[in-house]
Amino acid sequence: MIVHSLQLDNLRSFKSTELTGFSKNINVLIGKNNSGKSTILKSINLLQQLKSLDNDDIRINENNAFVKLGIFPNDNDQFLRTLKTFNYRPNMDYLEFELNKNISNGIPKIYNKEQSNEFSILILEDYKIISEEPFNNIIFFSSKRFTTPLRINIGSNISKSIEDNFNNFVSKIDSLNYGTKQHDEYIEVCHKIFGKEILPHQIRDGKILGLTIGDDNNFVDIKNMGDGTIHILGLIYYLVTAKDKIFIIEEIENYLHPKALKDLLEIIKVKSKSNQFFITTHSNIVAQELLLDTDNKLFRIDMEYIDKIPTSTIVKLNNYIERFDCFREMGYELNDFNLWEAWLILEESSAETFINQYFIPWYHPSLIGKLRTISSGGISKVTNRLEALVSMFIYQHLTPIYKNKAWIMIDGDAEGRKYHKEFLDSFCENSDDQWNRENFILLREFNFEKYYPEQFQEAVDIALSDKNIKREKKKELLKIVIEWTESNIEEAKKQFAISAKEIIDILKNISEKL
């Protein structure tokens, strides 16, 4: 089956919410702690439980709560076939399950939407939950799913049972017959995530799970491995075996380092072609990896206090900008996504050297990892650098994010003034996507070396006086100033704070804008 829609009324922190258009593949839910993500997942899990709601589910000051789930059934929905009063037809439109507190005898209702758009109501009086595979609809991995000592006895009845812990997983994994496609895939995934297979090992009274080391007779008992190992192992088992199921996974990033997490997400993307996933996360890695496919959906859940009562809302985020803004509000910054917050295009490498190595760390350390400096290697190449940067923004569809997040700083000589006017004409007045004039900075001094401390200015004038050897002299002088700076850090801080005040103030302005 596929969950198509969800309607909640007075359920916990949700006053009234109606959502349609879930992806049949992967749905990612993000939001701050206690925003209502778990409530959404537990509402979907009612498809497995099919039970009436209780008092704890009802919103404060209300008498009843209401959940309606719209689903598309398919031929493999075994639970529908067990209904004596339900004439199952694979080509029906869709079904809606209604669950609330005031249903007679606590029995849910099922709505069959016919082609006429009218609903017939069936009371599920003769339906009994079958808590064993393959009749389960949902595979639910709660972040609070607890682990009890694993049962060492194995058998078909044990391996097929559906429980809210992992204590029968020795039997489940033992049921993967050696040499089958599922067994081979399980071994392959174990190697990706753990570096080695975790298999049942025979002991006197039964079997236990362990990490194989050396020959087959040596292993590390799973109870002596990390707390999250059994959680991930359980998910691996279901990913390998499940088909036409709905996976509900809370905070999938728990227990995994980034490499293993990315490997697991790749497997989920493959398995989403035959299963539907609802995954909550706080991780930008999870969102980035799972949302590369445009068929997958991202939903944002927010909570605010209205009349002192927590009230949640859920909306679908339709484009990259909405998704990015959501993660920014959750506390992520561009550098958390391996992206720079802004760029500073410079004319010469000497300016980049001092800005990166000294001015930012000394005076504005908040720019570390955020401001990417680019040396153009001459005024004539600044335009090319800027045009390439703007093209990258447009290509990546990031223009609204990065608009006015690039600064261009050039020397104040005659050539610099000429190019400065061209920049203003090209990117401000005559540009379809106009940038702020303040982003194009023309320095007061005609060379960056004029911002060296006073004691070096005589050498600066000599280096700049002969155009034929100016580049070589500037390199020699740069080396001398760096050596002095490294040997006199505190004094250099004081002197550059005076001599390079204009540039330090520019960095301050950029820092404030970010």
Q: Residue 402's pLDDT is what?
A: 66
Q: Is the pLDDT of residue 164 over 70?
A: no
Which helix (H) or strand (E) segment is 463 a member of? helix 457-465
* CATH assignment at residue 319: 3.40.50.300
Per the CB < 8 A criterion, the answer to whether 301 and 313 are in contact is: yes
CA–CA separation, 58 and 12 (whole Å): 5
DSSP strand pairing (309-317 vs 297-306): antiparallel
Q: Residue 504's pLDDT is what?
A: 94
Tell me the β-bridge partners of 120. Answer: 112
Tokens 């401390």: give the residue. 453
More confidently predicted of 250 and 221: 250
- Please indicate, yes or no, whether residues 289 and 434 belong to a single structural domain of this protein: no
CA–CA separation, 114 and 303 (whole Å): 36
Residue 273, SS3 per DSSP: coil
Q: What percent of the chain has pLDDT over 70?
A: 74
Per the CB < 8 A criterion, the answer to whether 200 and 182 are in contact is: no
Per the CB < 8 A criterion, the answer to whether 13 and 39 are in contact is: yes
Q: Residue 99's pLDDT is what?
A: 55
- Strands, E assignment, 443-480: none
Per the CB < 8 A criterion, the answer to whether 8 and 14 are in contact is: yes
Q: Residue 121's pLDDT is what?
A: 42
pLDDT in tens, 264-273: 999 999 999 9
pLDDT in tens, 449-460: 999 999 999 999
Region 242-270: mean pLDDT is 89
Say how many domains are in the chain.
3
pLDDT band at 136 (very low <50, low <70, confident <90, very high): confident
Tell me the β-bridge partners of 275. Answer: none
In a domain, 9, yes or no: yes
Task: Tell me phi and psi for residue 403, to 5 degrees.
Answer: -60, 130
- Please indicate, yes or no, whether residues 440 and 497 belong to a single structural domain of this protein: yes
DSSP strand pairing (342-346 vs 371-375): parallel
∠387-390-396 over CA atoms, to 5°?
140
Q: Residue 470's pLDDT is what?
A: 78
- Please indicate, yes or no, whether residues 379 and 452 belong to a single structural domain of this protein: yes
In a domain, 234, yes or no: no
- Domain edge (last residue) among 332, 348, 371: 332
- Please indicate, yes or no, whether residues 506 and 372 belong to a single structural domain of this protein: yes
- Measured on CA atoms in the order 236, 240, 242, 248, is the torsion positive or negative? positive
- Please indicate, yes or no, whether residues 487 and 505 belong to a single structural domain of this protein: yes
Q: Residue 79's pLDDT is what?
A: 52
pLDDT in tens, 14-45: 998 888 889 999 999 998 888 889 889 888 88
pLDDT band at 97 (very low <50, low <70, confident <90, very high): low
Crossing angle of helices 470-487 and 457-465, in 10° steps, is 160
pLDDT band at 87 (very low <50, low <70, confident <90, very high): very low
Q: Is the pLDDT of residue 312 over 60?
A: yes
In a domain, 142, yes or no: no
CA–CA separation, 236 and 266 (whole Å): 12
**430: domain range?**
335-513
CA–CA separation, 39 and 45 (whole Å): 10
Q: Is there a cis peptide before residue 149, judged by omega within 30 degrees of 0? A: no
CB atoms within 10 A of CB 260: 15
- Please indicate, yes or no, whether residues 278 and 295 belong to a single structural domain of this protein: yes
- Please indicate, yes or no, whether residues 195 and 314 belong to a single structural domain of this protein: no
- Domain edge (last residue) among 332, 348, 368: 332
Region 420-427: mean pLDDT is 80
What is the token pair recorded at 69? 């789930």
In a domain, 141, yes or no: no
Q: Residue 253's pLDDT is what?
A: 87
pLDDT in tens, 205-232: 888 888 877 665 677 888 777 767 888 8
What is the CB-side half-sphere exposure of residue 116 using CA atoms within 13 A?
A: 3
Q: Residue 395's pLDDT is what?
A: 42
Q: Residue 501's pLDDT is what?
A: 95
In a domain, 236, yes or no: no
DSSP strand pairing (109-113 vs 94-100): antiparallel
- Domain edge (last residue) among 306, 332, 358: 332
- Please indicate, yes or no, whether residues 159 and 115 belong to a single structural domain of this protein: no
In a domain, 263, yes or no: no
CA–CA separation, 265 and 247 (whole Å): 13
Per the CB < 8 A criterion, the answer to whether 329 and 340 are in contact is: no
- Please indicate, yes or no, whether residues 26 and 117 belong to a single structural domain of this protein: yes
The radius of gyration computed from the CA coordinates of the chain, to the nearest angstrom, equals 31
Q: Is the pLDDT of residue 275 over 80?
A: yes
- Please indicate, yes or no, whether residues 122 and 31 belong to a single structural domain of this protein: yes
Q: Is the pLDDT of residue 324 over 80?
A: no
Per the CB < 8 A criterion, the answer to whether 25 and 272 are in contact is: yes
In a domain, 306, yes or no: yes
In a domain, 266, yes or no: no
- Please indicate, yes or no, whether residues 295 and 352 belong to a single structural domain of this protein: no
Measure Cα distances from 134 to 78, 242, 270, 498 in Å.
Answer: 8, 9, 21, 75
Type of residue found at 128: K
Q: Residue 398's pLDDT is what?
A: 43
Region 136-145: mean pLDDT is 76
Q: CB under 8 Å to 61, separation ≥6 — which residues? A: 309
Which helix (H) or strand (E) segment is 174 a member of? helix 169-174
DSSP letters for 312-334:
EEEEEE-SHHHHHHHHHHTT--G
Q: Is the pLDDT of residue 473 over 70?
A: yes
More confidently predicted of 33 and 276: 276
pLDDT band at 132 (very low <50, low <70, confident <90, very high): low
Type of residue found at 460: V
What is the token pair recorded at 339? 């992206």
Which region holds residue 369: left if phi is over 0, alpha if psi is between -120 and 50, else beta?
Answer: left
- Please indicate, yes or no, whether residues 509 and 383 belong to a single structural domain of this protein: yes
What is the token pair recorded at 220? 């590390």
More confidently predicted of 264 and 338: 264
